[in-house]
């Protein structure tokens, strides 16, 4: 497990370094910055409702499957293919488990860390929103027990490693229970989450 985490961490560092060094496209799209929304699966993507006035400069990127490996694969391919350019903005929306908030709660993530940090590599905590106290922990698998308190996913730490200025809106789908996650139906929460997300995009600073 430690070797896997070490390999993933090194890969993330190399790819993030490539991004910072400028190995991405400087092309323009009508002189407008694009707003990319990363989601873990099609179920989440289908709940995103892009306002008509933003459709020309918002793009949803869906991972092939859940988890860190899929996030690394998708983002590295798009970076190397010149998908992103300087000035583009990055967002995430999706489900999280939580042992702090009830199902259906919508939160803006304040910080994201690894749920189980490496013992051999120092890994940072990313601050995504200074006004939010919500702590997100990303794991290599679905979290059903933990020593931490907060919200839990499988991809946000990877997104933040590539794009430290990413903003994230999360919906609590379960209280660390996979059966609850599979059965969840929280349409009203998605309405609220969409409003928060697209307010972020419209008023991005």
Rg over alpha carbons for the chain, rounded to the nearest Å, is: 16
Concatenate the DSSP letters of all residues of 125-167 into one string. Answer: PEES-TT---EEEE-SS--S--S--SEEESSHHHHHHH-TT-E
For residue 177, what are the domain limits? 2-202
Considering the entire predicted model, what is its pTM?
0.84
Query: Which of 77 and 116 is assigned the larger pLDDT?
Result: 77
Domain count of the fold of the chain: 1
Region label for 30, one of left (φ > 0), alpha (ψ between -120 and 50) or beta (otherwise): left
Angle made by CA atoms 60, 10, 151, in degrees to the nearest 5? 50
Please determine, for residue 15, whether its predicted confidence score (pLDDT) is greater than 60.
Answer: no
CATH number of the domain enclosing 40: 3.40.50.1580
Chain segment 134-151, per-residue pLDDT in tens: 999 999 899 999 999 999
SS3 115: coil
């Amino acid at each position: 497990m430690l070797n896997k985490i070490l390999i993933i961490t090194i890969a993330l560092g190399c790819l993030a370094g490539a991004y910072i060094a400028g190995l991405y496209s400087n092309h323009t799209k009508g002189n407008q910055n694009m707003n990319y929304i990363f989601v873990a699966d099609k179920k989440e993507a289908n709940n995103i409702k892009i306002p008509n006035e933003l459709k020309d400069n918002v793009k949803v990127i869906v991972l092939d499957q859940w988890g860190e490996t899929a996030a690394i694969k998708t983002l590295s391919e798009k970076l190397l293919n010149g998908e992103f350019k300087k000035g583009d903005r990055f967002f995430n929306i999706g489900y999280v488990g939580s042992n702090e908030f009830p199902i259906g709660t919508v939160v803006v993530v304040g910080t994201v860390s690894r749920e189980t940090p490496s013992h051999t590599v120092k890994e940072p905590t990313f601050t995504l929103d200074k006004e939010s106290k919500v702590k997100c922990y990303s794991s290599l698998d679905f979290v059903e027990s933990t020593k931490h308190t907060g919200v839990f996913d499988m991809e946000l730490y990877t997104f933040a490693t590539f794009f430290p200025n990413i903003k994230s809106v999360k919906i609590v789908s379960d209280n660390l229970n996979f059966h609850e996650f599979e059965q969840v139906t929280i349409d009203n929460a998605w309405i609220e989450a969409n409003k928060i997300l697209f307010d972020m995009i419209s008023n991005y600073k």
